[in-house]
Amino acid sequence: MNRKELVKQIKSKSSYLCVGLDTDIHKIPSIFRQCDDPIFEFNKMVIDATVDHCVSYKPNIAFYEAEGSKGWESLQKTIEYIPDSHFTIADAKRGDIGNTSNLYAKTFFKTYEFDSVTVAPYMGVDSVTPFLEYLDKWVILLGLTSNTGSQDFQNIESKEGEPLFESVLRKAQEWGSPDNLMFVIGATHPQMFSRIRKIAPNNFLLVPGVGTQGGDLESLSIAGFNDDIGLLVNSSRGIIYAGDKPADIKKAAETLHESMKSLLNEHF
Residues annotated as catalytic are 93
Between CA 95 and CA 69 the distance in angstroms is 22
Task: Compute φ and ψ for 165, nearest 5 degrees.
Answer: -65, -30
Between CA 172 and CA 124 the distance in angstroms is 9
Of 214, 242, 257, 212, nearest to 56 by C-alpha is 257
Between CA 192 and CA 82 the distance in angstroms is 33
Element (H, E) at 126: helix 125-132
Task: Compute φ and ψ for 81, nearest 5 degrees.
Answer: -80, -30
Residue partners of 232: CB distance under 8 A and separation at least 6: 16, 17, 18, 55, 56, 87, 89, 182, 204, 205, 206, 207
Three-state secondary structure readout of 19-60: EEECCCCCCCCHHHHHCCCHHHHHHHHHHHHHCCCCCEEEEE
Amino acid at 45: M
Residue 266's alpha-carbon distances to 9, 14, 129, 221, 252, in angstroms, are 19, 12, 38, 11, 22
